[in-house]
Chain A
Amino acid sequence: MMTSASNQKGQTLIFVILIMTIALAIGISISNRTVSTVKRTTNVDSSSRTLAAAEAGIESVLTRTVTDLNSSISGSATDCTSAYTTTYPATSGSADITTKASISIKRYGCLTTSAPNNKYVYDVEQDNVLELKFDHGASLIPNNINLNITWKYPNAATASSLYLMEISGSNMNNLEVFRKGYRAGSQANNFELVLNPSSTGFNYQTRTHPRVLRILSLYSPSTVTVTNNTAGVTLPYQGFEITSTGILGDSTLTGLGSKDLVRRSVVVKRSLPYLPAIFNFALYSQNGSLSK
């Protein structure tokens, strides 16, 4: 019986140690989870702040004029490689922790005749206009630019048509407008039928002294691919590509760099200004009948 009692005391000790071990494990687990949650919350907060900084950087560029942006970037209107970098905000904040956006801006749409840099893809909303601008700078680009244009539309049942208007002329006194219409489906608009709009598309040669080619998407949105087939000619840029990286860093740093904590990047393309589709019409009635 004595032996039995001793054994029971030992069992109690083991049981107590086991319970304490389990309690300790649970405690450590809860502690780890709490630390993990705090860390995750911090990460989410940091991520949101850097994304907001990146977006603020984009917005700061969108408010700037084309002339301002173009003059900030080195190179000519056909240089889509050079980049201009800046930060937003330009000055450091006084808080211990600061977020900034590091911004890089370069031109896009400078089409050479060598793949893959000979084509560019544009999304055009229904009843909206894509404008290709040819007349940057004082010297107009050579005449008769040869383009291949293909297009796709999201719903096979609703094929889009493209209505092209080209404005050409060496000066304001002799501007001319040339028009073409292309359809992919059975729309009864009498535009020229393009059998394979998304593959072969159609070839388009500009007039003398081309300035602007306006492409209006009808019936449906279009994804338009423009390919430059003009030997030896690089087309000028059609807008700006803006990359803004929000960075959460230590304000004691002299700039943004190696000790950054979190980074988020946003890339945005901004086209050159264009006029809406009503400027294609000499007569446009929003609600009433056109009758005489």
Chain B
Amino acid sequence: MQSLLTKKTFPKLLLVSLFALLFTKAQVKAQLDTTAPTSSITLNPTSPDGDNGWYVSPVDITITSDDLDSGVSSINWSIDGGPTQSQVFNNTLNQVQNPSFETAGAPLDLWEKTNDDGIALFTQDPTFAPGFDSNSAKIESTVTGWHAFNNQTNYIVTSPYQNMTSSIWVKTDTAIGNANYKVYLIYDNGLGGTATQLLATSSSVTGSADWQKLTLNFSTNNSATLGVYLDLGLDGIGTVWYDGVSVSSSLTNPSTNFAISQNGSHTLSYWALDNANNEELPHKTSSFKIDTKAPSRWTNFTLTEAGNNHTFIVSIKVSDTTSGLDVSTAEFQYSVDQGVTWGYYTPLSSCSGSFNSGWTNPSVSPSSDGSTTVTLTTAAIDFCNSNWTATKEIRFRIKDMAGNLSQSPDFTINGAWVRVAGGGAYSNYNIAMLSASEGGYLAGAKEGVSNITTTNNWYLEDYEILSFDNYSAWYSKYPTTTSLPSGKLPTVSGKYRVNSDFTIASSTIPNGLSTTQNLSSVVFVNGDLNINTNYSLHATSGIIFIVSGDISVSSSTSSIDGFFITDGQFDGGTGTTALTVTGGVQADSFNLKRSLNGSQNSSNPAITFNYVAKYLVVGKNQLTANFGVKWLEVE
């Protein structure tokens, strides 16, 4: 043993021992991270922007996490107990020593005073930012000038051109001047010494402000870089506290941002993990409720005659399935001059009283706030006369509990309406019937459904159904060039094409069409389809028209049979004759302008779409190329 400790070997042993000691210290430091990260959340809007604690806009959420030792490895969150989502961070090891100012010195271990003029007070203070142990660094200044704590001597060793992030928590009390922090670069000046260079300055806090996090991203843009140090201070008079200092080689501060727009009450659970796998427990939670949708589905528009044929009690249903309805906000007004002036007469039952231009209240049932569906019912309203060609209208409005206001369409008294018998009605825009209409079994629209009832009260509201095939897509599957026999509608099953406009008139309807049984035909019309006369098909027969242009039905036509698919508009014609379409219509848009005479609209639809099952059979007989193919395996 003695031979080992010679003059030659002793310095080597000493060097090895020092390295071992340093290595051991580093190991101990790495292994001693037993503190879990701490997270905080900010919402935007910062507080509910609607009534009764509801947000009426999507909530933008930012979760930030700190870990002063091994660094944040991930931020995790779960909405309403759903699957956990995570954002992972790399290189977040905090390289600042005594980052939470828990170790005292003079006054703080490893931190020095900047501009120690003997007037400003530099202390370790038992105030601390949430999650950062029990102390902070405090500066009390009664004079102008920059006073700060810096770690220039114990600077953070880093390499040139390193992108880094930093953060710090700060609190102020009556600060007159800017409280912030600065990042300085320390570099080799080439003369055997070092020099410093200001790299970045954080945003500032003034006045009295509770703990908040300041962050800075910076780059060591000098090839002779040795490291960086921080200068945490106050430029002016007041008191400032600093806590939770972090500098890492991460490209971003541990923070994640996402928005929640789904309506309803939500509980967000969030937590962070550090690189030593310490989990923030218990998980933090934040609860909030969102209702971005105004009341909707104005349906069951009902007129009840009260005394004479132009005095009605009017009722309507409206729903809000999220926050419920604020029944005290229900109002209505009406117009007896085709929508020129709106308001109400006092009393409602006479047009000889004074006319008020505002809104008045209906009765509401049920009358409790928060009800999801209510019926608004007016008192008896005199619409002044029974000249129904001069349109008389009424409209309602109501707020939900979140404060979203919804106004109904302007409903026409004794207005024309549509009946969908069987099947369903859907629009990729909206359904906004001015008079109470019937939508078969299922009514749906992308942007609201109003004033259409369904047999079982089934609706697809705010739902966008994916687009369906247009003329080109259909024709590419069935590229027939067979012309219509003699230019007339077919009486033999098959697929046909008209490569121009086509008109259904008495001259293009073959004899015996209405009695031909089991006819299954598809007619492609590469142009417009005009229907100028009534025609019918046998109950076992059907023709599917696939049209590239518009479909127009003449005003005198009252009955047609077919399933019509068009890239253009379906124009149902005008006039006072009722129209019945046996089959169905898919169109880019609809123009439905028919209206019956006098008060006939009160009981009869102007247009009826009579869905019949035969077209499901007819279609399958001819449109056979639409089948599912599933590739199961390849070996």
**A binding-site residues for B, Cβ under 8 Å:** 51, 54, 62, 65-66, 123, 126-127, 156-157, 163, 167, 169, 171-173, 175-177, 179, 181, 188-191, 211-212, 214, 218-219, 239, 264-292
- Of B83, B432, B445, B634, the contact of A264 (CB 8 Å cutoff): B634
Does A274 lie within 8 Å of B540, measured CB to CB?
no
> Given that A127-B466, A281-B584 are contacting pairs, would A270 and B539 also be in contact in the complex, using a CB cutoff of 8 Å?
no
Does B426 lie within 8 Å of A284, measured CB to CB?
yes
Of the candidates B459, B518, B586, the one having the most CB atoms from chain A within 10 angstroms of its own CB is B586
Does A290 lie within 8 Å of B459, measured CB to CB?
no
Does A190 lie within 8 Å of B586, measured CB to CB?
no
In the docked arrangement, what's the CA distance between A163 and B442, Å? 10
- Of B416, B581, B589, B619, the contact of A285 (CB 8 Å cutoff): B589
Does A283 lie within 8 Å of B585, measured CB to CB?
yes
CB<8 Å pairs between A and B, sample of 15? A62-B629, A167-B613, A172-B540, A214-B616, A264-B635, A271-B629, A277-B468, A282-B440, A282-B609, A283-B420, A284-B427, A285-B429, A286-B428, A290-B432, A292-B607
Does A289 lie within 8 Å of B429, measured CB to CB?
yes
Does B442 lie within 8 Å of A181, measured CB to CB?
yes
- Of B319, B432, B459, B633, the contact of A291 (CB 8 Å cutoff): B432
Interface presence of B627 (CB below 8 A): yes
Interface presence of B435 (CB below 8 A): yes
- Of A163, A275, A280, A290, the contact of B430 (CB 8 Å cutoff): A290
- Of A191, A268, A282, A285, the contact of B629 (CB 8 Å cutoff): A268
In the docked arrangement, what's the CA distance between A186 and B157, Å? 56
> Given that A179-B441, A267-B632, A292-B433 are contacting pairs, would A286 and B588 also be in contact in the complex, using a CB cutoff of 8 Å?
yes
Does A173 lie within 8 Å of B539, measured CB to CB?
yes
Does A282 lie within 8 Å of B434, measured CB to CB?
no
Does B584 lie within 8 Å of A279, measured CB to CB?
yes
- For B615, the closest partner residue in chain A by CB is A279
- For B450, the closest partner residue in chain A by CB is A291
Measured between beta carbons, the chain A residues less than 8 angstroms from B258 are none
**B binding-site residues for A, Cβ under 8 Å:** 82-83, 319, 321, 409, 415-418, 420-435, 437, 439-442, 445, 456-461, 463, 465-469, 517-518, 539-540, 563, 565, 569, 581, 583-590, 592, 606-607, 609-617, 619-620, 623-635
In the docked arrangement, what's the CA distance between A284 and B442, Å? 11
Measured between beta carbons, the chain A residues less than 8 angstroms from B617 are 167, 172, 175, 211
- For B416, the closest partner residue in chain A by CB is A292
Measured between beta carbons, the chain B residues less than 8 angstroms from A274 are 620, 626-628
In the docked arrangement, what's the CA distance between A287 and B632, Å? 36
Does B321 lie within 8 Å of A188, measured CB to CB?
yes
Measured between beta carbons, the chain A residues less than 8 angstroms from B623 are 273, 275
- Of A51, A191, A211, A279, the contact of B619 (CB 8 Å cutoff): A279
> Given that A157-B82, A181-B458, A191-B458 are contacting pairs, would A279 and B431 also be in contact in the complex, using a CB cutoff of 8 Å?
no
Q: Is the interface of A mostly helix, strand, loop or mixed?
A: mixed
In the docked arrangement, what's the CA distance between A206 and B619, Å? 22
In the docked arrangement, what's the CA distance between A66 and B587, Å? 30
Extra contacts, 13 of them, besides A266-B633, A274-B628, A288-B589 (Cβ < 8 A), are: A169-B613, A267-B632, A268-B629, A268-B632, A274-B626, A277-B465, A283-B584, A283-B585, A284-B468, A285-B428, A285-B590, A292-B433, A292-B606
Does B458 lie within 8 Å of A273, measured CB to CB?
no
A155 vs chain B, min Cβ distance (A): 9
B451 vs chain A, min Cβ distance (A): 9
**Which 9 pairs between the two chains have the least Cβ-Cβ distance?**
A288-B589, A282-B423, A172-B540, A282-B611, A271-B628, A175-B613, A285-B427, A283-B425, A282-B609
Does B634 lie within 8 Å of A291, measured CB to CB?
no
B316 vs chain A, min Cβ distance (A): 16
Does A156 lie within 8 Å of B82, measured CB to CB?
yes
Measured between beta carbons, the chain B residues less than 8 angstroms from A277 are 465, 468
Measured between beta carbons, the chain A residues less than 8 angstroms from B425 are 281-284, 290
- For A131, the closest partner residue in chain B by CB is B620
B298 vs chain A, min Cβ distance (A): 13
Of the candidates A51, A176, A214, A286, the one having the most CB atoms from chain B within 10 angstroms of its own CB is A286
- For A166, the closest partner residue in chain B by CB is B613
Does A177 lie within 8 Å of B613, measured CB to CB?
yes
In the docked arrangement, what's the CA distance between A276 and B469, Å? 9
A166 vs chain B, min Cβ distance (A): 10
Measured between beta carbons, the chain B residues less than 8 angstroms from A270 are 627-630
Measured between beta carbons, the chain B residues less than 8 angstroms from A281 are 423-426, 442, 584, 586, 611
Does A278 lie within 8 Å of B468, measured CB to CB?
yes
B628 vs chain A, min Cβ distance (A): 4
Measured between beta carbons, the chain A residues less than 8 angstroms from B615 are 279
- For A286, the closest partner residue in chain B by CB is B588
Measured between beta carbons, the chain A residues less than 8 angstroms from B634 are 51, 54, 264-267
Measured between beta carbons, the chain B residues less than 8 angstroms from A157 are 82
Measured between beta carbons, the chain A residues less than 8 angstroms from B458 are 181, 189-191
> Given that A169-B613, A284-B585, A292-B606 are contacting pairs, would A189 and B565 also be in contact in the complex, using a CB cutoff of 8 Å?
no
- Of B461, B468, B584, B606, the contact of A276 (CB 8 Å cutoff): B468
B427 vs chain A, min Cβ distance (A): 4
